[in-house]
Amino acid sequence: MSRRSGILEFAVLGLLRESPMHGYELRKRLNTSLGVFRAFSYGTLYPCLKTLVANGWLIEEPGNTTEDALAAPLTGRRAKIVYRLTAEGKEHFEQLLSQTGPDAYEDEHFAARFAFFGQTSRDVRMRVLEGRRSRLEERLEKMRVSLARTRERLDDYTLELQRHGMESVEREVRWLNELIESERAGRDLNGSSSGEPASRDTTSGASGGLPRPGDDPRPDTPDDTAT
């Protein structure tokens, strides 16, 4: 299994832990709530769902709304398939949440992990945050060394681009420092004392206390009938 497909499986299980969804709704949540998976198409999502079903982590159920029941025979299309997390799937997702290996510190994987911090224990959050910070500090040092070696050979625009990259990493390190300080002090993101783990807020996506981005500005093109 590739790293990217593993991230998708993790995010799908996390979203379905909140509530069952059909494929179109799930893809929209991946795009708008997490903001990590815009490049994933239905051609990638549905094979992932099939794999999770085959593993026993999801089950497929027919859509049960009146709208679904009426629309299917009129259009000649199959009813929407709703995906529901099984008990085994919930247990598997909780195992994934507890993992703090090097993959959790990489850019895209960290973003997915962070989106589900509201469902993650404090000690695991700390290990992931500190691992991410360490990874970025290593990256920043390499960037500084590289810039020092090549500065004289770079034109102004290339030099400015490298500086911009370094500043982006430095900003994230400062952000991580603030998060780590809050976690150590036992505070959640709004500065108040939080429980263990932080409570979920399903009205703001999978991220618990994180703000939910606006809807994807691109037009939706539902394709809910794939199974």
Measured CA to CA, the distance from residue 10 to residue 106 in angstroms comes to 14
Q: How far is CA 31 from the centre of its chain?
A: 9
**Helix, strand and coil in the chain, % to nearest 5:** 65, 5, 30
Q: Where is mean pLDDT largest: 36-45, 104-113, 185-194? A: 104-113
Digit-coded pLDDT (tens) for 182-220: 999 987 666 666 555 444 443 334 443 333 333 443 444
Predicted local distance difference test score (pLDDT) of residue 124: 96
DSSP string, 53-108: HHTTSEEEEE--SHHHHHHHHHHTPPPPEEEEE-HHHHHHHHHHHH--SGGGGSHH
Whether this prediction's pTM lies above 0.85 is answered by no
Digit-coded pLDDT (tens) for 45-67: 899 999 999 999 999 998 765 45
Place of tokens 């993992």: 99
Predicted local distance difference test score (pLDDT) of residue 193: 61
For 138, half-sphere exposure in the C-beta direction (CA atoms, 13 angstrom radius) is: 8
- By the 8 A CB rule, do 136 and 176 touch? yes
> How much is the mean pLDDT over the chain?
80
Digit-coded pLDDT (tens) for 131-170: 999 999 999 999 999 999 998 888 999 999 999 999 999 9
Provide mean pLDDT across the span 119-137: 96
Predicted local distance difference test score (pLDDT) of residue 196: 52
Nearest C-alpha neighbor of 176 from the set 104, 123, 125? 125
